[in-house]
């Protein structure tokens, strides 16, 4: 399987990010709760050094709860502040303001000592493509009436969204790249739909999903399709094609259609809530 990446975009993204990061106090990093390590940028520790950090596990509605909890513990053990959210519905987002203040406590105390009161914390959303950055920002924009305009001199050309009197969010997220040198990471991101479909072999991806489901979520799969998983993934795919009436002319099985169907249902959590990576593995 050949997964193509676009290193050309990276250089520009990195430069923009380095500029934007100068303006902010806290980096809010979104990762996909279904694959929190694969959806993390490898250079973020370097890019965001000297900044306060918060890691948000997004799309928790599609992830397996027990592992989301395990991932929260994992990041906490590493010394990060973390929380779980659903950017689409806004679930978990109310608690973010107090959390951001807690993360930036040191800055708030410093400001207070210097007699600076009510200077908002400036935040920026970062993450790899498709992790939910725009959804997150839109959700806040809808909730908040105030859009803070340009700040001459300091934030030329940048728009800030005022979340409340203590936090402002940069309205353009920082787009980061995944660990592109790791093929396994690419496959996981393709499975959850973070990488564009057309550059991947759908059939092979479907077989990998079947193998993964057989080992980890066999019951969910069998319940969804009303079939028994076979020893060979290709045989299970054939069963699925029959169960879902994916047929070509002359009654031959349409494996492409069955693969697409499986991929779509897997990515949208129709089979069930699934986490691909576990902190203990």
| Contact residues for ligand G4P, defined by CB under 6 A | 58-59, 61-62, 86-88, 127, 129-135
**What is the CB-side half-sphere exposure of residue 194 using CA atoms within 13 A?**
30
Give me the phi and psi of 32, to 5 degrees please: -85, 120
Q: Could you tell me the smallest distance in angstroms from the CB atom of residue 270 to ligand G4P? A: 11
Nearer Cβ to ligand G4P, position 242 or 269?
A: 269
Q: Could you tell me the smallest distance in angstroms from the CB atom of residue 175 to ligand G4P? A: 7
Q: Could you tell me the smallest distance in angstroms from the CB atom of residue 209 to ligand G4P? A: 18
Give me the phi and psi of 25, to 5 degrees please: -95, -40
Q: Could you tell me the smallest distance in angstroms from the CB atom of residue 83 to ligand G4P? A: 12
Q: Could you tell me the smallest distance in angstroms from the CB atom of residue 267 to ligand G4P? A: 9
Q: How far apart, in whole angstroms, are the C-alpha atoms of residue 151 and residue 147?
A: 12
Q: Could you tell me the smallest distance in angstroms from the CB atom of residue 58 to ligand G4P? A: 5
Q: Could you tell me the smallest distance in angstroms from the CB atom of residue 59 to ligand G4P? A: 4
Nearer Cβ to ligand G4P, position 131 or 274?
A: 131
Nearer Cβ to ligand G4P, position 53 or 59?
A: 59
Contact call for residues 166 and 96 (beta carbons, < 8 A): no
Structure tokens that stand for 165 in this block: 């009197």
Q: Could you tell me the smallest distance in angstroms from the CB atom of residue 136 to ligand G4P? A: 7
Structure tokens that stand for 248 in this block: 């070509």
Nearer Cβ to ligand G4P, position 134 or 216?
A: 134
21 sits in the region (left: phi over 0; alpha: psi -120 to 50; else beta) called alpha
Give me the phi and psi of 117, to 5 degrees please: -115, 150
Task: Classify burial at 23, counting beta carbons within 10 Å of its beta carbon; exposed 0-12, middle 13-18, buried 19 or more.
Answer: middle
CB closest to ligand G4P, residue no: 132
141 sits in the region (left: phi over 0; alpha: psi -120 to 50; else beta) called alpha
String of DSSP letters for 131-185: SSHHHHHHHHHHH---EE---TTTSTT--EEEEETTEEEESSPEE----TT-HHH
Nearer Cβ to ligand G4P, position 61 or 204?
A: 61
Nearer Cβ to ligand G4P, position 86 or 202?
A: 86
Q: Measured between alpha carbons, how far is residue 280 from residues 29, 70, 71, 85, 277 in Å?
A: 22, 9, 9, 22, 9
Nearer Cβ to ligand G4P, position 192 or 233?
A: 192
Structure tokens that stand for 153 in this block: 């001199």
Contact call for residues 25 and 52 (beta carbons, < 8 A): yes
Nearer Cβ to ligand G4P, position 63 or 207?
A: 63
């Amino acid at each position: 399987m050949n997964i193509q990446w676009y290193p050309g975009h990276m250089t520009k993204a990195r430069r923009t990010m380095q500029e934007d990061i100068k303006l902010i106090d806290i980096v809010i990093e979104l990762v996909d709760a279904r694959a929190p390590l694969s959806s993390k940028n490898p250079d973020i520790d370097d890019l965001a050094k000297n900044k306060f950090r918060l890691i948000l596990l997004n799309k928790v509605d599609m992830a397996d709860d027990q592992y989301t909890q395990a991932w929260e513990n994992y990041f906490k053990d590493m010394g990060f502040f973390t929380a779980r959210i659903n950017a689409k519905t806004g679930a978990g987002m109310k608690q973010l303001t107090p959390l951001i203040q807690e993360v930036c406590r040191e800055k708030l105390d410093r400001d207070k000592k210097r007699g600076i009161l009510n200077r908002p914390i400036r935040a920026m959303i970062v993450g790899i493509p498709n992790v939910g950055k725009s959804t997150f920002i839109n959700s806040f924009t809808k909730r908040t009436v105030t859009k803070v305009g340009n700040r001459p001199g300091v934030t030329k050309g940048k728009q800030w969204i005022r979340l409340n009197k203590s936090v402002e969010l940069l309205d353009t997220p920082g787009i980061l790249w995944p660990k592109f040198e790791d093929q396994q990471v690419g496959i996981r991101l393709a499975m959850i739909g973070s990488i564009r479909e057309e550059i991947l072999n759908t059939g092979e991806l479907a077989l990998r999903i079947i193998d993964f489901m057989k080992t980890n979520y066999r019951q969910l799969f069998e319940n969804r399709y009303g079939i028994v998983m076979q020893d060979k993934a290709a045989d299970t795919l054939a069963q699925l094609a029959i169960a879902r009436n994916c047929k070509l002319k002359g009654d031959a099985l349409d494996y492409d259609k069955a693969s697409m169907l499986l991929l779509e249902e897997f990515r949208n959590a129709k089979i069930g809530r699934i986490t691909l990576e576990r902190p203990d593995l």
